[in-house]
Amino acid sequence: MCEGNLPGIPSCMDSGTEMNLGTKQITNAVTGIPLQSRRITMYIPVHFKFHTSMIPTPDPGLLAAITRATCEAFRQAEITLPPDVKQAILTAKEHETSEIARGELANILANLEMAGALSVPICQDTGVPVVYLTIPPHVPLNNGIFDAIAEGVRMASREIPLRPNVVDPLTRENTGDNTGEGMPAVHVRPGDRLTITVLPKGAGAENMSRIAMMLPSERGQIPKFVAETMLIAGGKPCPPVILGVGIGGTFDGAAALAKEALLEPIDTMTSYEKELLAAVNALGIGPMGIGGRTTALAVKVKTAGCHTASLPVAVNVQCWACRRATVEVQC
């Protein structure tokens, strides 16, 4: 019964229920040679009540549902743009006066129609998988859920299909299935429902993103930093872009805020966001960097408290293909 103990968990007692913890490879601690693979079971004492969040293995049915939902979210995001983004592109086309700029936006709209009609990705850079997860209180959060999401990414890569984009950063060896160390990038927070939001992120725009540790006295310079980011970027990030701006927090936190800002709908903007947008569009870079009135469709800002001596500012550049989709898992 009591074939192996897990660290930190009480060993077997006289009475209780048996719990299956799956198969684990056991190795000899001295030689490192694998011993016969065996089933690990743990004996749970009756007086030791497990809270649901302590159960190490979530329902396999739920994990399968998470895998399917992840795949579906990618399918939706890769093939169909959210309505607010499509509307912003339509409005931009009306707003442009240059024939070339209108032509570029017309190509983008024709491309959206074609992707939908053929059920193929909008862009061949199907991005790296970025996933935002909300977990309700009754679902245990553990590696099983992360593995299920990674499996969903593999499924999406095969079925949609997605271009294999994930490589080792130094050897540049491609994993072939869009997963890898730290990929998919999964961000979790508690919620009242289990939702999977995906934001596949292409490299052309991501590569033009910037971060600055500004001085607290420089907060009036934020519009300049944001506009400068697009001045440097020019046509490279496939404008018209959407800019996610993270202000405050920590060095890494500002970048995370900037990316989260890209999840926000772009049909509303604060007056500060509109001010930043005006500064960017005044540059006249235009669709695809060949000139025009629409360099950015929107600017979205997220803020967080920061050190009194700090002002981290991050700009995450998103191409016009602002692909995001959310799928809820019933549980």
Distance CA 291, CA 314 (A): 25
User: Would you say 79 or 257 has its CB closer to another protein?
Assistant: 79
Distance CA 146, CA 188 (A): 10
User: Would you say 2 or 114 has its CB closer to another protein?
Assistant: 114
Which residues lie near another protein (CB under 8 A)? 100, 103-104, 107-108, 110-112, 114-115, 118, 120-126, 161-165, 174, 202, 204, 207, 223-224, 227-228, 231-232, 234-236, 238, 279, 282-291, 319-321
User: Would you say 108 or 196 has its CB closer to another protein?
Assistant: 108
Segment (H or E) for 89: helix 83-95
Query: What is the crossing angle of helices 99-118 and 83-95, to 10°?
Result: 150
Supply the minimum distance, in Å, between the C-beta of residue 106 and another protein. Answer: 9
User: Would you say 197 or 318 has its CB closer to another protein?
Assistant: 318
Check: CB of residue 303 under 8 Å from CB of residue 257: yes
Q: Does the CA dihedral 134-138-140-145 come out positive or negative? A: negative
Supply the minimum distance, in Å, between the C-beta of residue 182 and another protein. Answer: 20
User: Would you say 108 or 243 has its CB closer to another protein?
Assistant: 108
Check: CB of residue 127 under 8 Å from CB of residue 165: yes
User: Would you say 125 or 151 has its CB closer to another protein?
Assistant: 125
Q: How many CB atoms lie within 10 A of CB 161?
A: 12
Check: CB of residue 296 under 8 Å from CB of residue 230: yes
> Where are the strands (E) in the chain, listed by range?
16-24, 38-45, 130-135, 185-190, 194-198, 210-214, 241-248, 296-304, 311-318, 325-329
Supply the minimum distance, in Å, between the C-beta of residue 294 and another protein. Answer: 13
Supply the minimum distance, in Å, between the C-beta of residue 200 and another protein. Answer: 12
Between vectors from CA 116 to CA 87 and to CA 208, what angle results, nearest 5°?
60
Supply the minimum distance, in Å, between the C-beta of residue 168 and another protein. Answer: 13
Check: CB of residue 81 under 8 Å from CB of residue 199: no
User: Which residue in the block uniquely carries the two structure tokens 């018209």?
Assistant: 240
Distance separating the N- and C-terminal Cα atoms of the chain: 32
Supply the minimum distance, in Å, between the C-beta of residue 280 and another protein. Answer: 10
User: Would you say 66 or 222 has its CB closer to another protein?
Assistant: 222
User: Would you say 58 or 237 has its CB closer to another protein?
Assistant: 237
Supply the minimum distance, in Å, between the C-beta of residue 266 and another protein. Answer: 17
Supply the minimum distance, in Å, between the C-beta of residue 282 and another protein. Answer: 5
